[in-house]
Structure 1
Amino acid sequence: MQKKALGAAMAGHIVESFDFIIYGYSATILAKHFFPSANPALALLSTLAIYGVAFIVRPLGGAVFGSMGDRLGRRTALCTVVLIMAVSTGAIGVLPTYAAAGIVAPVLLLLCRLGQGLSMGAEYTSAASYVMEQAPPSRRGRWISAVGGATFIGAALAVFLLLGLQLSAAGAYADWSWRVPFLVGGAIALIGLYMRLRLAESRAFTTLAERGETTSTPVRDSLRNWRVFLLLLVIFALLALVSQNFLGYLPTYLTVTGRLAPVTVLVASGIALVLCTGLSLLTGVLADRFGRKPLLVAGVVAAVLGSVPAYLVAAGGSLATTVIAEILLVIPAAVVGITATMVAVELVPVRIRATSTALTYNISYAVFGGTAPFVGALITAKFGKLAPGAYITIIAALALVVVLVALPETKNRLMPAPSRSDDPDFVPDALPHA
């Protein structure tokens, strides 16, 4: 039962990161197929802008499907979002190009990205909430790290698939086989749907529903819990910026600004992602032993100290320097990602857990994650090659202050059966303490 719950929760998130890697690494090729070729730079920026649009609608998806998770159950939300994800991702693989359909082509691409953005609005946090509510108290970190590690598993699968396509026939990939990864992503999502349909509802939500204590206004109740809401916005903002610079912008930076061969970038990314998967799982183990806050602080410090050196090393132009640059960005992405997720699902009351975590996660991703590739390209052009690293450093330094001052430790927080009379988390506007 435990393996089934973990596998089903991980499946959708594997597809989420798989798709964003595919889109990020294929941005230059998609630009040629879906936009006029007269201005390549404008076409690339347009492609990256559509990448960002999917993030903009994610808070709406978080509100809709997060509310579904809190009103109708985690399982219902998880099945719905992975179905939408399967259709949207697979559809990109069969879209007509600009040469065949004109302006209709980028419009259809935009609609698919909107569908992906809506479904992803509650994918990760719903999966994390479900897993946490099923996990043994002493192993919550390990279980959540498995879901977070799915980010890097999906990304690694995407990188190795792209590498295989590039090595087998680079010309074919630029021409037509770029479609294959999107079709594969849609198929994986359908497998995830099958797995999730076989899940039981989480024990915490079942108890809540049996007592008639589910909320009919989860968005409003989440906003009333404003101190927790703001705190989660800060830590998720840093996660969004670091992870999407690594997953979304760095590939384009290395190929366009660094003039590296796509195969070199893919090999370096694959190495970094495999290491990052292991680091994610190790973070879960350490967080169960030493607490969430020390690990989160370490991850934020890594972002402060390593971001500028990462972009400095990335300019070296070799496989070795590219691997080092990616690892410097991967470390905070993994450590912050896992511990931030733990803190979020443990801080928020059961009755609004899916909605509150989905909203904060996706508002942060809309503002800092979706704009990361676009902003990265703009500030690189204006301020030079180290500008993206400096941008991350500034945001990380601000987040570090907030984490040190305002974040409570959540490792030993009890997870009692939800009840208005005995749940210490019930007061919606109170910041829980360790």
Structure 2
Amino acid sequence: MPPRRILGAAMVGHVVESFDFVIYGYSATIIARHFFPSGNETLAILSTLAVYGIAFIVRPLGGAVFGSMGDRLGRRTALSTVVLIMAVSTAAIGVLPTYTSVGFLAPLLLLICRLAQGLSMGAEYTSAASYVMEQAPPARRGLWTSAVGSATFIGAALAVFLLLGLQLSSATAYSDWTWRLPFLLGGAMALIGLYMRLRLEETKTFRALEDSGETSRTPVRDSFRNWRVFLLLLAIFSLLAVVAQNFLGYLPTYLTKTAGLSSVTTLVASGIALVLCAALSIATGALSDRIGRKPLLVGGVIVAVVGSIPAYMIAAGGSLATTVVAQILLVIPAALVGMTATIVAVELVPPRIRATSTALTYNIAYAVFGGTAPLVGALLTAQFGRLAPGAYITVLAALALVVVIIALPETRHRSVDDRAATEKNARTVTGTVSSS
């Protein structure tokens, strides 16, 4: 099967996922106006951000359901199912009635759509990464997997440039009704992704498991039994969730409400940073195939430790240049940590529980730290001032740095196809963590 078909089908779902979440994050003030009662702008925005976070809360459930599907019925089946649910729920937001039309039914319907999105996204990214990793040439696993990860920033960049175009064409129309168009477009892209994924072949790794009768009957339970590896992955994914979602979910609101930037300036700066981050993600994956995963992961965590508070200091400058610099300080650790964490996770976990275990750790981390990042950021800013979100990232990054240095092994040369070797790898990690 041609590499472009594998990578294109794997990437498209994650493009839609990040596209939708950025559209929602950047449109928080407008969504608040349409779906919640008027009269208290702060409460409406906090309610909108809370609905944003609720979609993350159900993601572990989606990871358990669709991750198990990937380990029991095949990676292709899981990927096709989640992108179908994503298509319907994303497009539905674009046609929902507003609060002035149906009252409290409006936020309820919005919540239902976000819950459906959260369930489908619970196994999207890690399932796509697992599929690509199992299809990639051994010497290019990092590069191929980083292509899937770069879809996060590609989708976000597409969302930013679309929003910029809509606002420049007519800010009034965008506030009134054209904000719906990106959600409809996201649903259409997801349907294209469904078509692409239905044309995929199952991975040779899963076929070998199936032929030998070694697929897991209880992948969720087996994932928790491998608990030391589970906790290790949870730690590094938690840092990724905080860094990525502060940048993607909260920073737009921070820049417009706290730093006083115009929405156009915020969108231009974000678009530049996202394009840079997509390129950096690919470079990170390629470099990890040459020098290893751990050095890049450690480097990304260090940048998060030393750069987060300065990023929020610079972001308060109020100009396009300072905003771009601030966002670059946040996207560098997002790219380095995001790519290497994903690659390490897929390489560490045995293939019989790979889809489930990676989905659970990734989405538990995002439920606890990712979905709450915008809301926590807003509350910290209101309570402690402009630098509080940066300090929050710094503290968590410092804790993660200790874990990564002490407990994380190098995985570049580990097998992802040999079932016995991968099980041995997992036991080795268990011993490493235990001895630490």
| TM-score (ref. length: structure 2) | 0.97
**Which consecutive segments of 4 or more residues in structure 1 shift more than 4 A?**
426-430
1:51 alignment partner AA: Y
**Alpha-carbon displacement from aligned partner over 1:81-137 (angstroms, at most 9, x marks no partner):** 000000000000000000001000000000000000000000000000000000000
2:87 alignment partner AA: A
In structure 2, how many angstroms separate the alpha carbons of the residues matched to 1:424 and 1:223? 17
2:148 alignment partner AA: V
- Counterpart contact for 2:70–2:77, Cα < 8 Å: yes
What SS does the aligned partner of 2:421 have? coil
In structure 1, how many angstroms separate the alpha carbons of the residues matched to 2:79 and 2:233? 22
Q: Which residue of 1 aligns with 2:278?
A: 277
The structural deviation recorded for 1:219 is 0.3
- Counterpart contact for 1:347–1:432, Cα < 8 Å: no
Q: Which residue of 2 aligns with 1:123?
A: 124
In structure 1, how many angstroms separate the alpha carbons of the residues matched to 2:371 and 2:409? 28
The structural deviation recorded for 1:259 is 1.2
In structure 2, how many angstroms separate the alpha carbons of the residues matched to 1:23 and 1:104? 19
The structural deviation recorded for 1:265 is 0.2
**Alpha-carbon displacement from aligned partner over 1:272-324 (angstroms, at most 9, x marks no partner):** 00100110000011100000000000000010011000000000000000001
In structure 2, how many angstroms separate the alpha carbons of the residues matched to 1:92 and 1:286? 39
Q: Does 1:189 align with 2:190?
A: yes
In structure 2, how many angstroms separate the alpha carbons of the residues matched to 1:175 and 1:427? 55
- Aligned 1:213-224 pairs, distance under 5 A: 213-224=214-225
- Counterpart contact for 2:75–2:127, Cα < 8 Å: yes
In structure 1, how many angstroms separate the alpha carbons of the residues matched to 2:150 and 2:88? 24
Q: Which residue of 1 aligns with 2:349?
A: 348
The structural deviation recorded for 1:424 is 4.4
Q: Which residue of 2 aligns with 1:363?
A: 364
**Alpha-carbon displacement from aligned partner over 1:395-415 (angstroms, at most 9, x marks no partner):** 000000000000000001123
2:429 alignment partner AA: L
1:22 alignment partner AA: I
- Counterpart contact for 1:288–1:411, Cα < 8 Å: yes
- Counterpart contact for 2:134–2:417, Cα < 8 Å: no
Q: Does 1:401 align with 2:402?
A: yes
- Counterpart contact for 2:349–2:422, Cα < 8 Å: no
Q: Does 1:83 align with 2:81?
A: no
Counterparts in 2 of 1:424 and 1:341: CA distance versus 1, 3 Å:
closer
In structure 1, how many angstroms separate the alpha carbons of the residues matched to 2:305 and 2:82? 34
Q: Which residue of 2 aligns with 1:18?
A: 19
What's the RMSD between the two structures over aligned residues? 1.2
**Alpha-carbon displacement from aligned partner over 1:177-199 (angstroms, at most 9, x marks no partner):** 00000000000000000000000
Counterparts in 2 of 1:404 and 1:426: CA distance versus 1, 3 Å:
closer
In structure 2, how many angstroms separate the alpha carbons of the residues matched to 1:377 and 1:28? 13
1:175 alignment partner AA: D
Q: Which residue of 2 aligns with 1:289?
A: 290
What SS does the aligned partner of 1:423 have? helix
In structure 2, how many angstroms separate the alpha carbons of the residues matched to 1:229 and 1:238? 15
What SS does the aligned partner of 1:36 have? coil
Counterparts in 2 of 1:49 and 1:424: CA distance versus 1, 3 Å:
closer
**Alpha-carbon displacement from aligned partner over 1:205-251 (angstroms, at most 9, x marks no partner):** 01100001101100000000001000000000000000000000000
2:167 alignment partner AA: Q
- Aligned 1:225-240 pairs, distance under 5 A: 225-240=226-241
- Counterpart contact for 1:299–1:331, Cα < 8 Å: yes
Q: Which residue of 2 aligns with 1:431?
A: 429
- Aligned 1:299-314 pairs, distance under 5 A: 299-314=300-315
What SS does the aligned partner of 1:431 have? helix
Counterparts in 2 of 1:424 and 1:17: CA distance versus 1, 3 Å:
closer
- Aligned 1:9-408 pairs, distance under 5 A: 9-408=10-409
**Alpha-carbon displacement from aligned partner over 1:126-152 (angstroms, at most 9, x marks no partner):** 000000000000000000010000000
Counterparts in 2 of 1:427 and 1:290: CA distance versus 1, 3 Å:
closer
In structure 2, how many angstroms separate the alpha carbons of the residues matched to 1:433 and 1:207? 28
1:102 alignment partner AA: G
In structure 2, how many angstroms separate the alpha carbons of the residues matched to 1:432 and 1:289? 26
The structural deviation recorded for 1:38 is 1.2
The structural deviation recorded for 1:425 is 1.2
Counterparts in 2 of 1:145 and 1:16: CA distance versus 1, 3 Å:
same
What SS does the aligned partner of 1:80 have? helix
Counterparts in 2 of 1:424 and 1:93: CA distance versus 1, 3 Å:
closer
The structural deviation recorded for 1:416 is 3.8
Counterparts in 2 of 1:428 and 1:397: CA distance versus 1, 3 Å:
closer
In structure 2, how many angstroms separate the alpha carbons of the residues matched to 1:290 and 1:399? 21
Counterparts in 2 of 1:310 and 1:211: CA distance versus 1, 3 Å:
same
Structure 1: gaps of 5 or more residues: none
In structure 2, how many angstroms separate the alpha carbons of the residues matched to 1:215 and 1:286? 34
- Counterpart contact for 1:71–1:214, Cα < 8 Å: yes
2:408 alignment partner AA: L
Counterparts in 2 of 1:130 and 1:432: CA distance versus 1, 3 Å:
farther
Counterparts in 2 of 1:204 and 1:433: CA distance versus 1, 3 Å:
farther
In structure 2, how many angstroms separate the alpha carbons of the residues matched to 1:44 and 1:335? 31
In structure 2, how many angstroms separate the alpha carbons of the residues matched to 1:399 and 1:156? 28
Q: Which residue of 2 aligns with 1:7?
A: 8
